[in-house]
A and B are shown apart, each in its own frame.
Chain A
Amino acid sequence: MARLNSPQELHRFQEELLSRRPSTASFVSICAGTGCLAAGAKEVIAAFKEEMEKSGIAAKIQSKETGCPGFCERGPVVVIYPEEICYLQVAPQDVPEIVAETLMNRKVVDRLLYVDPATKKRVQRESEIPFYKKQVRNLIGNNIRIDPRNIEDYIALGGYTALAKALFQMTPEEVLQEVKRSQLRGRGGGGFPTGRKWEESRNAPGDVKYVIVNADEGDPGAFMDRALLEGNPHSVLEGLIIGAYVVGAHQGFVYVRQEYPLAVENITIAIRQAEEYGLLGENILGSGFHFRVKVHQGAGAFVSGESSALMTAIEGKVGEPRPKYIHTAIKGVWDRPSVLNNVETWANIPLIINKGASWFTQFGTDGSKGTKIFSLVGKINNTGLVEVPMGVTLREIIYEIGGGIPRGKEFKAVQTGGPSGGCLPAELLDLKVGFDELTQAGSMMGSGGMIVMDEDTCMVDVARYFLDFLSEESCGKCVPCREGIRQMLKLLTAITEGKAKEGDLQLLVDLAEVACDASLCALGRTAPNPFLSTLKYFASEYEAHIKERRCPALSCKALVSYYIDPERCQACLRCLRSCPAQAISGAKDTIHVIDQDKCTRCGTCLEVCPPRFAAVRKVSGEPVPPPLPEEKRIIVREREGK
């Protein structure tokens, strides 16, 4: 492959690629993102290769291992082009049929299609599936068409056109103005105006500047950056190079968490390929601009995803945050101007340059322009990645795209913004999603994690969970965070164990104030948010735990007791045999009874009791009903037909 030495050569190469791949060409995309791989995509991919060889069509039809399209609940996902036929939950044993019917005869295998739960009709085209239809997939839409390890797929779809435009048709100042006009705000959590950050670095004194991709994605439940970096690494790289051009940086870093080995691999390959094709490195596309990128792995620390901590980690030191009174855009890595942006922020740049700021601003609200990818997880039917314009309501995301709560349970809360965010109750389902709207409601956008919770989730436990998370992830340097979280966790744990004392809640509120006001970094300053938001919207749950030693959600182990309803028990022996504490007595035809002294509340009996009996019950705040006397426990069964 010859280097591309000018925008004209890039354009010619694009045309050549397109002529080799007419839009009518048939190919098979199989999602090879981490989620689908965990669900068995590797075997599906191997099955396709084998089957296509056997049938002799491997020469005419290509199979592609692609990036994550986001419909993770139904993986492994396979899409067949040009018809865009989407098959879900594909197993290796389905592959011969798919090859024979669809690839060779263009016939659809109905049983693998999506079934609309409302109309009960099967949906054939990927874009017609309600989960996708209501999204605006500007960023993630291409993932299913691209093999992330092949730069030509990206170029064929118009990749690197924005870079060529920026380098040859615009000055750095013009590119900056376009980004400012787009009103793009950082997608990592801070929501800081991207253009302003770039401008600060551009104007800062110094010859050596840096641009950095923050791919640390530490918020539990958020995986959109993983999908973008694994699935379309060039989109991020292209944005980064454009940013470097504006700021005047010649060295960039991609900081990826080591927990994402596939993302590390794919971005490393992408960097190498971009260099081979003349799109990165010395004299990019013949423009005279040079820029190199290095991959730096994280080593398992949430706090190191904070921008100043990340820069300290790049310097090889312990990733502790620094007080940020002087913006890192002015004094960052090695005290040099450093622009750090999130993966998703960088991925937006090529779109803004290609299609213009006015195109971008047509999406979103006044304060939050563009689209945002949310990771919709937890108690939700359609778990996955959802890309929508800012301003869409929580209700639309959770019900229309997410398909609502499974098993007929009731929605209770949605947690946004990770450990720095808050829980929003049902009354706020019509809230429009945007930076300022979420912050005003007591939560925040964060990186876009949206964790749905139902009636079985205890909100006090949620607050405790996040403080537990942060107690380990705090760097430990400053007192308000390290000690504040330490004590808040103790107090909340006591509440979930029914050991709360008078004044504990007030002390929690006082500690929250100190952490919010005096912590060194944003981790500490936002650590109390889950507690404060759950106290605001679910105060009754706190009261029940503290005053009645009752967990309304029947979740807190220490406050819940299990018993077997004698009216429903059919003495099938299943729970008796599974109980790890051997706490259940009974026999075939003798009602099972849980010995409360031995019971460890592990929940196994509830799990294994057949749904048609559903005899295991939980109570909280009251004693279990006394067990039947032994004589009454024998089940007399009616024998039929004798």
Chain B
Amino acid sequence: MELERVDGIIERHGADPSSLIQVLLDIQKENQWLPPEVLRRVSERLQVPMARVRHVATFYKAFSLVPRGRHEIHVCMGTACHVRGAPRVLNAVQEVTGIGPGETDMELTFTLKTVNCVGCCALGPVVEIDGVTYGKMTPSKAAEVIRNYK
């Protein structure tokens, strides 16, 4: 990501150290991940020690310090989905993609994440792929949907 764009985002938030989380969120949204040189720039321009930038970047689930796959799969593991069988859906997804939660496959096709409740509990179990919500998932249905993305 060009450092100019990073600077632009920092300016939009007034280069205020307390805007660290908001700045990183904007960068994450645009770039899909936080490369090391971007973190360094943020640390310099916001005058926040690198140790703290790094703690924030690793504390919050929204941030990724590694590149993500082309397709992002989110399996909801909220209580309502859990009670309706989400763990078995997750297993099926893991089997089809070959990766576990938090991982990206070597070809950068998929990134798999578990999320804690997207607020669509009536449709549980829920799997979101690239922002599209698939409701009332079962292990076999989830596997089929993902195979279509391959």
Contacts and interface: CB of A to CB of B under 8 A. Distances in A.
Interface of A: 34-35, 37-39, 72-73, 75, 217-223, 226, 258-260, 296-302, 304, 313-319, 375, 377-379, 383-384, 415, 418, 449, 451-453, 457, 462, 465-466, 469, 473, 475, 578, 580, 602-604, 607-608
B61 interface: yes
Interface string B21-35: 110110000000000
Contact of B80 (A226, A317, A378): A378
A473 B78 CA distance: 13
A466 B78 CA distance: 10
B109 interface: no
29 contacts: A34-B119, A35-B122, A38-B135, A72-B120, A72-B122, A218-B116, A220-B77, A221-B80, A223-B121, A259-B115, A296-B21, A297-B22, A298-B60, A300-B62, A316-B19, A317-B20, A317-B52, A318-B56, A319-B60, A378-B84, A383-B122, A383-B124, A384-B122, A449-B79, A457-B83, A469-B77, A602-B91, A603-B139, A607-B138
A221 B115 CA distance: 12
Contact of A602 (B61, B79, B92, B124): B92
A226 B63 contact: no
B142 to A, nearest CB: 11
Contacts of A315: 18
A580 B84 CA distance: 21
Nearest to B92: A602
Interface string B60-100: 11110000000000000111101111001001100100000
Contacts of B82: 220, 465
B12 interface: no
A465 B123 contact: no
Contact of A377 (B22, B122, B135): B122
A476 B95 CA distance: 31
Given A73-B122, A383-B124, A580-B92, 14 more contacts: A38-B120, A39-B122, A220-B78, A220-B116, A220-B117, A259-B119, A304-B60, A319-B59, A319-B60, A383-B80, A384-B122, A451-B83, A462-B83, A580-B143
B21 A297 contact: yes
A469 B87 CA distance: 13
Contacts of B85: 603
Contacts of A316: 16-21, 48
Nearest to A376: B121
A38 B56 contact: no
Contacts of A469: 77, 116
Contacts of A314: 18
A401 to B, nearest CB: 14
- A-B CB proximity, top 3 nearest: A300-B61, A220-B78, A316-B18
Given A39-B135, A260-B119, A465 B79 contact: yes
B79 A220 contact: yes
B118 interface: yes
A300 B60 contact: yes
A109 B1 CA distance: 54
A318 B83 contact: no
A75 B25 CA distance: 31
Nearest to B115: A259
Contact of B121 (A300, A375, A457): A375
A297 B145 CA distance: 31
A301 B61 contact: yes
Contacts of B16: 316
Contacts of B138: 607
B150 interface: no
Nearest to B82: A465
Contacts of B56: 299, 317-318
Contacts of B21: 296-297, 299, 313, 316
A530 to B, nearest CB: 10
A602 B139 contact: yes
Contacts of B77: 220, 469
Interface string B106-136: 0000000001111111111010000001010
A450 to B, nearest CB: 10
Nearest to B24: A299
Contacts of A473: 116
B62 A379 contact: no
Given A299-B61, A300-B61, A377 B121 contact: yes
Interface-centre pick from A217, A297, A318 (highest chain B CB count, 10 A): A318
Nearest to B128: A38
B79 A415 contact: yes
B78 A38 contact: no
B120 A220 contact: no
B126 to A, nearest CB: 8
A35 B20 CA distance: 31
Interface-centre pick from B16, B55, B84, B115 (highest chain A CB count, 10 A): B84
A604 B79 contact: no
Contacts of B62: 258, 299-300
Given A221-B79, A299-B61, A301-B59, A75 B122 contact: yes
A38 B121 CA distance: 11
Nearest to B123: A38
A316 to B, nearest CB: 3
A378 B83 contact: yes
B63 A318 contact: no
A415 B126 CA distance: 20
Contacts of A73: 122
B15 to A, nearest CB: 12
Contact of A296 (B22, B63, B117, B121): B22
Contacts of B140: 578, 604, 607-608
B64 to A, nearest CB: 11
A221 B78 contact: yes
Contacts of B135: 38-39
A337 B124 CA distance: 41
Contacts of B118: 34, 259
Contacts of B61: 299-301
Contacts of A451: 79-80, 83
A104 B133 CA distance: 34
Given A223-B117, A318-B52, A378 B79 contact: yes
Nearest to A71: B122
A222 B126 CA distance: 15
A301 B60 contact: yes
B95 to A, nearest CB: 6
Contact of B117 (A222, A457, A578, A603): A222
Contacts of A452: 83
A543 B57 CA distance: 43
A523 to B, nearest CB: 14
Contacts of B124: 377, 383
Contacts of A384: 122
